[in-house]
Chain A
Amino acid sequence: MLVAQYAINGLLVGAVFALIGLGFSLVWGILNIINLAHAAFIMLGAYFTWMLVEHTAIDPLLTVPVVAIILFAIGYAMQRGLLNLVMRAPLLTTFLLTFGLETLILNLGQRIWSADTRSVPVAYSGKGVIVNSGGFDFGRPGAEAGVVIPFVALIACGIALALFFATYLLMERTRSGRAIRAVGADITAARLMGIDIGHTYALTFGVSAALAGAAGSLIAMQQGFSPATFGAFNIRAFIVVILGGLGSVPGALAGGVVFGLIDQFSQAPLPGGGILGWSSLARIKDVIFFIVLLIVLVVRPTGLLGREGYR
């Protein structure tokens, strides 16, 4: 039963991680930028949801589209106003610039919203689908419960999957999506075809920021958070992308799920009462991720699916 619970948690968490990875992967694949401000966008998403719920008392789920639109605007403006200025500079320059933006935004968040832990109240939190040997039931899990699928996590997973599908349609079926893919494939040819490069870059970055913002909203509904919570998300996004393969939409989903499973199964108790005094590997989770990252990068750099994405 415990294994099934870890697996379900892993899948649910994985969908949100996949969403984070998708935005990160898009900017990396098309713009050749590692956007270290991605975590800052996730933080902004979480806090905008929190503020909207505090001030207007609307259902947190309704804040997701609002937050996505605000973050799109911020992302678009940031690329147009700042990042477009260094697009032809060496890798280190863009990396440092987004690193500076990340430092700036995360710490500004800390000054504005303080370091206190916040949470967004959700009416149906704590309830879920309870699956046990006698069928399934809805409600609040008791001590005897079997496998629990929490409603909030389930809805978050659903929204994440819907956004995945929307991004896929945007990239494959729309004129803007075609422009983005063209710029990613060959910037000179794209320019000759009359594509406005500055605008297309900004559009890509805006979409990525919107996805990060939506992910932030979904995270805010499920856990307590403070600005410091979000610093680790860049690395998680990176690992998701590496697991799934750069620039690939299905790859990001696969990477997110694998990441979620590792994340959850690391909490399983170790056999024999633990190693080095650790009862589970959750305490050294980041060490495990670093090792997984190295193995994948060295052994299979195209990701688990091994598919070429947008770039």
Chain B
Amino acid sequence: MLTLSLSPRAADDVANNTVPPDVTAPPPPPPPKPKKSFLSGIIYRIFGIGATKAPKDKAAPTPAAVGYGSSYKVVPHLDQNAVYSAVHQRLFDGGAVGIFPEGGSHDQPELLPLKAGVCLMALGAMAEKPGLDVKLIPVGLHYFNRLVMECFGAAVDQTLVLIHDLVFLLDF
């Protein structure tokens, strides 16, 4: 049902019909496979969107209009290339970038598995500009508030500073 209501043409059919569509009917033929990035490819495969943009004025069928089902939202693809290029530029300029590579807030007494983005940034910058020497400075923050230390187990927070030149450490 999800793919049926989300496929490009099915949207206004469902909305205009007061009678619920025959769910036993064969699904509409899949639209041509779009050439897109990895993530939008996944979204396309799961939700069937992204191939052809549905017109904006034709809203998706609400449960009230259809008479059954529940409402849902689709998370759009987020382009992170701007972030990566900004980080690369900063490193090329000899700057430092502070990153929290755990990628989230938690109350575990142990480090979470790190996100790969920090390595992508470091390796990407070095691959883009030969001769650049990116250094990763691990930084631990230890808070002394008793309440935080003891109630939540780990009051540590991790910052990873990608640093181009060690001299910049003195600027902090």
A binds B: no
Chain B residues within 8 Å of A, Cβ to Cβ: none
